[in-house]
Chain A
Amino acid sequence: AQSVTQLDSQVPVFEEAPVELRCNYSSSVSVYLFWYVQYPNQGLQLLLKYLSGSTLVKGINGFEAEFNKSQTSFHLRKPSVHISDTAEYFCAVTSNRDDKIIFGKGTRLHILP
């Protein structure tokens, strides 16, 4: 079975400051990892995904994430946040065994002016 842990339910950060949203996963098989963003009352938008290859993955809106197999982590980072980045961010995992996606509980990113 797979699981995802997002350690922070909320992260406040000042505008133009860097941010890191943490994600750890657990799985007995090879995984595919994702970060999704959800703006209020909207569906999910894929920020980035790791399938294989380079462990540093670049996504949309200036976000990037690094897959660390030894630490079973897939933390999301952005060097300088903007007020428009205020949203809920979900880390998710799946595998090649089935198509089910397991979501973390989400991290709410608060951008402070």
Chain B
Amino acid sequence: GAVVSQHPSWVICKSGTSVKIECRSLDFQATTMFWYRQFPKQSLMLMATSNEGSKATYEQGVEKDKFLINHASLTLSTLTVTSAHPEDSSFYICSASIGTSGRAFNEQFFGPGTRLTVL
């Protein structure tokens, strides 16, 4: 149980185009989804937290107009990299949490990641 998928697994695009990455919780309803970025040989950096039906909360330094996050349902969140540039090339990983209110701890389940290369 608790499987999270991402699509596509890898994508190559031209500079200036937009790319959409999907994150799905396959066997549970995720009230909260997280988006991380990982540069080569570095750790995961949280970009934003999204709750179903509300606006995402972005971490400091992350441009909300560049990285559009939509969490339209309890099983799907999307990250759109708008007007992508080579410096946006990275490994993007999502995670999903059941987020039961009142619980002290809500485990995150991670997707397999999406490698974005911007030419």
Contacts and interface: CB of A to CB of B under 8 A. Distances in A.
A46 B49 CA distance: 20
B21 to A, nearest CB: 13
Size range of the interface on B? Answer: 20 to 34
Given A99-B97, A105-B42, A106-B43, A41 B105 contact: no
Interface string A76-113: 00000000000000100010100111011110000000
Contacts of B32: 99
Given A41-B113, A42-B113, A44-B93, A103 B49 contact: no
B113 A43 contact: yes
The interface centre, meaning the residue of B49, B99, B105, B106 with most chain A CB atoms within 10 A of its CB, is B105
Contacts of A105: 42-43
B64 to A, nearest CB: 17
Given A32-B105, A43-B93, A96-B105, A103 B43 contact: yes
Contacts of A104: 43
Interface in A2-53: 32, 36, 41-46, 49, 51
Contacts of B15: none
B31 to A, nearest CB: 10
Contact of B111 (A43, A49, A94): A43
19 contacts: A32-B105, A41-B91, A41-B113, A41-B115, A42-B113, A43-B111, A44-B44, A44-B93, A49-B107, A90-B44, A94-B105, A96-B105, A99-B49, A99-B99, A99-B106, A100-B49, A101-B46, A104-B43, A106-B43
Interface of A: 32, 36, 41-46, 49, 51, 90, 94, 96, 99-101, 103-106
